[in-house]
Amino acid sequence: MGLKFKSETSKRIYAYMLKRGRPLRLSDVKRDLNLGSSALVKHHIDNLMSQGLVEKVGDGLYIAKPPSGYVKIWRFVLPYKVLLGSLLISSLPVELSLYSLSATALLLYSMIVSMLSGAILFYDGYKSYEELTSFDNQSDEEQREDGG
C-alpha cells in the first residue's frame, strides 16, 4: 500500500479516525487517544490532510478517508483487490453449474484462469489489508498498555 506516516502518533490518529468512520473534532481525538494538546493533534491532522488521508468537512470537523486503492463498506476498509478477487472466485461455481461436465478445454481453461486470477488478487488484497490493520492493532495495544 505504501502509506508513509511521519510519526507513530500520526498513524495512531489516522487509525483511530478511520475506525470511527465519522467526522471528529480535535478535542475528541485528543481526549480519546490521551494526547497532550490540541495543537499537537492539529499538527498531525494537517500532515494527514497534506497526504490526502483526512479532510475537513465542517467547522472544526475532520474525517479520515480510505487510502487510494481501498473502499469503505459499512465500517470496513477493504482493498478493492479483495472485492475483485472474491468476485472472480465466486464466478467459478456459477460457470461450473452452467456448463456442467461437458465443458470444453477452452471453457476449462477460462475457469482455471478466473480462479487463479481471483486467488492472486485476493491474496494481494489480504496482504494490503494486513498492512493497513497492523498499525491499528498496535495503537489498540498501546492504549491498553497506557491504561486507556
* φ/ψ (deg, to 5) at 77: -110, 110
For residues 105-111, give the mean pLDDT: 69
For residues 91-102, give the mean pLDDT: 68
Top-confidence residue, 79 or 16 = 16
Neighbours of 116 (CB within 10 A): 12
pTM for the model stands at: 0.62
Summarised one tens digit per residue, pLDDT across range 33-74 is: 999 888 999 999 999 999 989 999 989 999 999 887 787 777
- Kindly list the domain boundaries of the chain, sorted by start residue: 8-65, 70-130
Task: For domain 8-65, give the CATH number.
Answer: 1.10.10.10
Q: State percent of the chain over pLDDT 70.
A: 79
